[in-house]
Homo-oligomer: A and B are copies of this chain.
C-alpha cells in the first residue's frame, strides 16, 4: 500500500480569511482527505513543524510526497531540500502542485529557473489531455474546465518534460504545459498546475482524480540505487603495448 505525505507551507491559511474559509483544514488537509478516501495511508507535514515535518523517519516512510508551497519557499531549509532530493533519487515519487513550481526542491531537480507568467484575474482555465494513453489522465474526458483560476502562461522555463499530459488554455489568451512528468534517478516527478489558494480547486473531482492517478503512477519501484564508482571489468581486457 502506497504511503503518502502531503506537505504544505500552510501560511496563506493562517493569514488570509478567504483561504481559511475555503480550506479550513489547510490545503494539506483537503488533499490528504481525498487521498485517504482513495485508500492511500496519508499523513501531512507543514513548514512550521520541526524539520518542516520531514524528518528522516517520515521521509523513509513516504512513498509519494505531494508538495504545495508559495509564500515561503525561502524558509525551507537547504538541508531538508537535500534530503528530499536524495529520497527522490532513491525512488520516492514527488508531485509538485501549482506555485510549487518555484519551490527549492522543484528548481533543484529541474536545473532551470522554473519561471512563468501569472495573473490573478479569474481566468477560465481548460486543461486539455494531450497524452490520452497515460494513466495519470485515466478517467478524465477530453479536458477539465475550471471556472476560475490563477493564470500561468508560457514560456514556462522547465526542461522539456519526459511526457506532456495536459496543456492549459486560458481565457486571457495564454497556454501552459500543465501536466508534466520527469524521471530523476530511481524516482518519478509530476508537476500539476492548478490549485491557487483562493479558489476551491482541490475540491474539484477531476482535479482530485488526476492527483490520485499521479500518486499511483509515481509509485516507487522496488530497487536499490545502482552501484556507482570504480568497477571491475566483466570481460577480460586485452593488454595493450
* Residues of chain A at the chain B interface (Cβ within 8 Å): 89, 91, 108-113, 115-119, 121-124, 126, 128-135, 137-139, 142, 147-148, 151, 153-157, 159-160, 162-164, 167-175, 177, 182-188, 219, 221-223, 225-235, 237-240
Contact = CB atoms under 8 A, between A and B. Distances in A.
Contact of A171 (B115, B167, B237): B237
A182 B237 CA distance: 33
Contacts of A167: 154, 167, 175, 177
A117 B229 contact: yes
A222 B177 CA distance: 23
A18 to B, nearest CB: 15
Contact of A169 (B131, B169, B182): B169
A126 B234 contact: yes
A164 B164 contact: yes
**The 8 A-B residue pairs with the shortest CB-CB distance in the complex, in nearest-first order:** A172-B233, A173-B234, A155-B226, A115-B228, A117-B231, A173-B235, A111-B111, A109-B111
A76 to B, nearest CB: 17
Contacts of A233: 119, 121, 123, 151, 171-173
